Amino acid sequence: GIQVEQSPPDLILQEGANSTLRCNFSDSVNNLQWFHQNPWGQLINLFYIPSGTKQNGRLSATTVATERYSLLYISSSQTTDSGVYFCAVVAGETSGSRLTFGEGTQLTVNP
């Protein structure tokens, strides 16, 4: 099956810093989503981005499908950004919408 690798596994920032999280995938994809899992365990949709670039406030994401990677940018980080960020994909040959998740990036933003 498709492999999803996220880097870095852990990231510690001071409030106000910027960061870039990376997601590499091993095959073509029909679907790519970024999620934030907050400290209460909730999985929150950030972006649906199988290709191209999107922005939402301080967050933006870019997926280069032909090179099989996606980037999540967090600018002017806040303590509420802490949590785990997951990239998840649906492989190109898959029927249905079964997402394969990466192992996540644990982000800690200190005040």
Partner 1 sequence: DSGVTQTPKHLITATGQRVTLRCSPRSGDLSVYWYQQSLDQGLQFLIQYYNGEERAKGNILERFSAQQFPDLHSELNLSSLELGDSALYFCASSMGGWANEKLFFGSGTQLSVL
The site for partner 1 (CB under 8 A) is made up of 30-31, 33, 35, 41-45, 48, 50, 86, 88, 90, 92, 94-101, 103-104
* Phi–psi pair at 81, nearest 5 degrees: -80, -10
Residue 15 CB, nearest approach to partner 1 (Å): 27
Q: Helices (DSSP H) in 1-111: which residue ranges? A: none
Distance in Å, CB of 58 to partner 1, minimum: 21
Of the pair 56, 95, the CB lying nearest partner 1 is at 95
Give the nearer residue to partner 1 in terms of CB position, either 71 or 99: 99
Go through the chain and tell me how many residues it has.
Answer: 111
User: Given the DSSP bridges, would you call strands 69-74 and 59-64 parallel, antiparallel or unpaired?
Assistant: antiparallel
In angstroms, give the least distance from the CB of 35 to partner 1: 7
Query: CA-CA distance, 62 to 47, in Å (whole number)?
Result: 10
